[in-house]
Structure 1
Amino acid sequence: MHSYFTFLRSSFVLALICLAASCTAPRAVINSGKVTAPGQFKAGVNFGGNIATEPIGQLDDITKAAVDAISKKDSVYFDDEIDAATRGLLAYALDPVGPTFDFYLRYGLMERVDVGYKYASGVHVFDTQLQFLGPTGTPENPGLGDWYGSVGIQYAGQSSGIVDKLFLDKLQPLLQFTAKRRDVTVPIIFSKSLGPEEEKGSIAFGAVYNHTFIKYGFEPGRLYKEYGSEIVEVEGVTAKKSFPSYGLFVNAKLGFKYIYILPAITMYYQNYGKYELLNNKAYSFSGMTFIPSIGLQANFGGGRGRR
């Protein structure tokens, strides 16, 4: 019976998170190993979700009723509920959970190199991809071979809005939590063409490395603790950390010539490390992240592909 109620509580927390669009760096790998042909464009939209085990577990310890009660007090003493709230806020900033949406544009800059821009729920993303394996033609002017390989690099930056839509935002006047993060993502992609030069799409797989740099802080107001016989304000915390993530992915591109559907799944493991929190507390975080997604992509432009 206890496990049943635990499941219901976890489901409720996840539902609350999913009601708000997550502001998270897009780490899903949806590209194939073949880059955009020179002079050609690709445009698309992508829908997905960021399902991270650590923040879900931390937020499971916090009830919305407790948050409402704390937010209405004129002054608050540091206790287990405040400690759980700070852990939940930080865990969520490390790996925001919830639905994701982005739209993007890619351009074939030169043979074997393309560049892209992506806008994802307030996050600006820039990337480039270098093809080291396979032909560089087009369906109208195909090359020899149907296997492709490429390596990419992506940069994304985001700031304080990370937790604005989480139900813990009611504690912001009390905890004054801020977070800024930068993500660098490096995927290695291999793909098999369906039809000449991906005319009917492709099946892709590979490995991906991500490194996150985060600066976070708590500057509490109206938060106190007992220190001997005295009552003192809880001091703030500001720190910088970084951590690596290691992942695998598989995706598909299914359609014909100009319009394609892109289903994908990307999985990461990360040891986020140990973090200082309020009242001289420190906690370590680690866990898995699953990013399923599905998108729609259109190709246009003449292209100047070569063999």
Structure 2
Amino acid sequence: MQRISLLIIFLYILFLGSCTAPRAIINSGKVTAPGQFKAGLNFGGNIATEPISQLDDITKSAVDAIRNKDSVYYDEQIDIFAKGLTAYALDPVGPTFDFYVRYGVAPRVDVGYKFASGAHVLDAMYQFLGPTGTPENPGEGTLYGSIGLQYTGQKANLPGRALLNKLEPVLDFYATRRDLVIPVIFSKSFGPEEEIGNISWGVVYNRTFIKYGFDPGNIFTKYTDRVVKLEAVKERNSFSSYGAFINGKIGFRYVYILPALTMYYQNYGTYKVLGGKNHEFSGMTFIPSIGLQVNLGRNVQQRRRY
């Protein structure tokens, strides 16, 4: 009963998390052995410098003032709101929670599924360096290397603590994004075939495709002789992120603790917002995380020996 209660609490916290692109790299260079499963959960945070700087300009009093009006005229404050919403959609700031499962499908290939704060993530990895054994039947060598491909699709959810969810209906903002992540991972084993853990490092490339827009119904532009409804905005864009990471795995055979730090730099590009304005965004993103991983199943190659 206690375990069920803890699971319910965990899932509740998971759904409260902001919809942050799952770009933390926690894997090692050694893929999951054939026939085995890895399952785990991670807690972390997405700390992006550009959205944080834009959110600093949005105050509760200004948000409450605009929400209490039937009609609003476009001004500098509206531009600040639109700029903040766009920056947040590009790189959501907030806590990250995810649960994942990986399965070894071949000696050098595994696949994974992750549920990350409301987003569904699919990925696969290929090991191009190092042995493919198990602690019970180890191969030669302690250095591993692999390359992966991860796909994520999600809709931007705006957190109440940042006041953005109150602005969403006023500016009628929406955004969806797709992310492709390609990590190149190297790792050094602790013990035979990472029996007691590893340290991993590498580089990662991320390509983000975003679709966003504004369609406010009660915001107007005032001219000398007339008042005109503010024109809607509907745009698409994409940008690249370049990163590096370091992570570790500490435990013994079946249960491990996984600390990790992933860093990205990205020039998000130029984005059109309300009032015909265009804004450029760029900055760093830091993703620290800590996780728990459990190894399950029995190696297929080992089972065939009996």
Q: Same fold (TM over 0.5)?
A: yes
Match of 1:127 in 2: 123
The partner residue of 2:97 within 91, 98, 101 is 101
Query: Any gaps of 5 or more consecutive residues in structure 1?
Result: 1-19
Match of 1:10 in 2: none
Counterparts of 2:175 and 2:159, CA distance in 1: 11
Pairing 1:298–2:280 present: no
User: Which 4+ stretches in 1 moved above 3 angstroms?
Assistant: none
Where do 1:263-274 residues align within 5 Å?
Answer: 263-274=259-270
Structure 1 residues 198-207 or 228-237, which shifts more? 228-237
Instruction: Give the secondary-structure state (helix, strand or coil) at the position aligned to 1:163.
Output: coil
Counterparts of 1:255 and 1:91, CA distance in 2: 39
Pairing 1:46–2:42 present: yes
Instruction: Give the secondary-structure state (helix, strand or coil) at the position aligned to 1:142.
Output: coil
Where do 1:118-157 residues align within 5 Å?
Answer: 118-157=114-153
Match of 1:163 in 2: 158
Pairing 1:194–2:207 present: no
Where do 1:67-78 residues align within 5 Å?
Answer: 67-78=63-74
Structure 1 residues 181-190 or 74-83, which shifts more? 74-83
Match of 2:6 in 1: none
Would the aligned equivalents of 1:141 and 1:305 in 2 still touch at CA under 8 Å?
no
Match of 1:58 in 2: 54
Query: Any gaps of 5 or more consecutive residues in structure 2?
Result: 1-15
Deviation track 1:239-266 (CA, whole Å, cap 9, x = no partner) reads: 0000000000000000000000000000
Counterparts of 2:119 and 2:235, CA distance in 1: 22
Match of 1:257 in 2: 253
Identity %: 66
Would the aligned equivalents of 2:259 and 2:290 in 1 still touch at CA under 8 Å?
yes
1:79 to partner: Cα distance: 1.1
**Matched letter for residue 177 of structure 1:** F
1:303 to partner: Cα distance: 1.1
Aligned pair count reads 286
**Matched letter for residue 78 of structure 2:** I
Counterparts of 2:244 and 2:265, CA distance in 1: 9
Instruction: Give the secondary-structure state (helix, strand or coil) at the position aligned to 1:69.
Output: helix
Counterparts of 2:107 and 2:224, CA distance in 1: 70
Pairing 1:236–2:232 present: yes
Structure 1 residues 121-130 or 170-179, which shifts more? 170-179
Counterparts of 2:73 and 2:233, CA distance in 1: 17
1:297 to partner: Cα distance: 0.1
Pairing 1:92–2:92 present: no
Counterparts of 1:117 and 1:197, CA distance in 2: 23
Would the aligned equivalents of 1:138 and 1:305 in 2 still touch at CA under 8 Å?
no
The partner residue of 2:170 within 159, 163, 174 is 174
Match of 1:16 in 2: none
Counterparts of 2:74 and 2:296, CA distance in 1: 58
Match of 1:15 in 2: none
**Matched letter for residue 139 of structure 1:** P
Pairing 1:185–2:181 present: yes
Pairing 1:287–2:299 present: no
**Matched letter for residue 57 of structure 2:** D
The partner residue of 1:34 within 30, 39, 42 is 30
